[in-house]
Amino acid sequence: MENFNFYSPTEFVFGKGRAAETGSFVKKYGGTKVLIHYGGGSAVKSGLIGAVKKSLDEAGIAYCELGGVQPNPRDTLVYKGIDLCRSEGVDFILAVGGGSVIDSSKAIAAGVCYDGDFWDFFTGIAEVKNALPLAVVLTIAAAGSEGSRSCVITKEDGMLKRGIGYEILRSKFSIMDPALTQTLPAYQTACGCTDIMAHVFERYFTNTKEVEITDRLCEAVLLTMVKEAPRVIADPDNYDARANIMWAGMVAHNNIVGVGRQQDWNSHGLEHELSGLYDVAHGAGLAVIMPSWMQYVYKHNVLRFCQMATRVFGCQMNFENPEATAVEGIQRFRSFLHGIGMPINFAELGAKEEDIPALVEKLGIGDGKLGGFMELDKNDVTEIYRIAAHASL
């Protein structure tokens, strides 16, 4: 196991009806003028925005609001948010929504405290040194941004999707009411489940030896998802399944399952180019990319894939032919994703094989390599996209 620091300072406020406590938590964390930031309308329609405002009113906290965050959140709205915060004297940002709303809020929080163009953070020109405090009322279990240090924004000009990560961007408190996710369309629920599993797999496939504790934690989250995802698709009002999935989403991505080990974020990197180019849901893109990445890299450490196959997907170990077990595990993962309604190849996702050179180009690898479980050059990623284009059950 490698040396590590683990710092996860967010206060998680979990359970039914907890959004009514928003105002008192904003007060606790020092907010006096709040920007309520939300998405395309689901949180207004469900009555959640109304409930949050009522709670802020009761706590005597002033607010302004900015809705309209799109999935794959855009830089254009971030600029608007920064201007609004400055003109209104906002000192606290409240994200009411999913990963897109939270990430847009994080970018605004950092941008307000920076004199230059906030996109500088995403091109490496500047580092985030300061940010307004922010908090979350979560409406979808997926990205894990409610507990993570990451922020992913798409620059509309060129549809460039890029991410950053800073401790200062972690949420002060995150209200997590599983019942709020019951209004999600099945497809979005499944996208979220896929993303949660991907966050674990990006950590599970490692070259670091002797990481039993995090291996087992990863497997616990994966097994939970294998059980709960189909349950919630079959029965969308199942509160307990939703509760387990919501907590799994946080555990999968605040890095408690990833400390002390090398990680691999190449499936996410490859997927971000897909959701950047086609504006598809991140989880759906991962369903197409991740098993394809596995198919391409499994020979790098066949036994690690056998471990996944036997411990997570219940395959029988074939001691004479371990590769067969590894391949069976990958196929079971793909079938599982298909079973909860996810696409598994380019055609089902709405991506085009002829765009592969453009996707590879946008990754910006040049003559270098992407690091991780297995290093990947341009030819490798081209091959992974090709596998993804033609994948079948």
* Partner from ligand NZQ, Zn ion, none contacting 246, C-beta within 5 to 8 A by type: none
Minimum CB distance to Zn ion smaller for 19 or for 388: 388
* Partner from ligand NZQ, Zn ion, none contacting 139, C-beta within 5 to 8 A by type: ligand NZQ
Minimum CB distance to Zn ion smaller for 103 or for 195: 195
Smallest distance, Å, CB 280 to ligand NZQ? 10
* Partner from ligand NZQ, Zn ion, none contacting 97, C-beta within 5 to 8 A by type: ligand NZQ
Cβ-based neighbours of 103, under 8 Å, separated by 6 or more: 73, 143, 145, 150, 151, 152, 153
* Partner from ligand NZQ, Zn ion, none contacting 188, C-beta within 5 to 8 A by type: ligand NZQ
Which residue's CB atom is positioned nearest to Zn ion? Answer: 195
* Partner from ligand NZQ, Zn ion, none contacting 43, C-beta within 5 to 8 A by type: ligand NZQ
Chain residues in the site for Zn ion (CB under 5 A): 195
Smallest distance, Å, CB 302 to ligand NZQ? 27
Element (H, E) at 384: helix 378-390
Q: Is the dihedral of CA 171, 174, 180, 185 positive or negative?
A: positive
At which residue do the structure tokens 């219940």 appear? 314
Smallest distance, Å, CB 369 to ligand NZQ? 22
Determine how many CB atoms are found less than 10 A away from the CB of residue 321. Answer: 11
Minimum CB distance to ligand NZQ smaller for 30 or for 47: 47
Cβ-based neighbours of 342, under 8 Å, separated by 6 or more: 190, 191, 194, 283, 284, 287
**Which of the 8 DSSP states describes residue 179?**
G
Chain residues in the site for ligand NZQ (CB under 6 A): 39-43, 71-73, 97-101, 103, 139-140, 142-145, 148, 150-152, 180-181, 183-184, 188, 191-192, 195, 253, 268, 282-283
| Bridge partners (DSSP) listed for residue 352 | none
Alpha-carbon separation of residue 113 from 109, 110, 116 (angstroms): 7, 6, 9
* Partner from ligand NZQ, Zn ion, none contacting 338, C-beta within 5 to 8 A by type: none
Minimum CB distance to Zn ion smaller for 23 or for 192: 192
* Partner from ligand NZQ, Zn ion, none contacting 22, C-beta within 5 to 8 A by type: none
Smallest distance, Å, CB 306 to ligand NZQ? 26
Smallest distance, Å, CB 231 to ligand NZQ? 18
Smallest distance, Å, CB 199 to ligand NZQ? 6
Smallest distance, Å, CB 43 to ligand NZQ? 5
CA atoms within 13 A on the CB side of 88: 20
**Which of the 8 DSSP states describes residue 280?**
-
Are residues 378 and 336 in contact, defined by beta-carbon separation less than 8 angstroms? no
Are residues 153 and 122 in contact, defined by beta-carbon separation less than 8 angstroms? yes
CA distance 378 to 369: 7
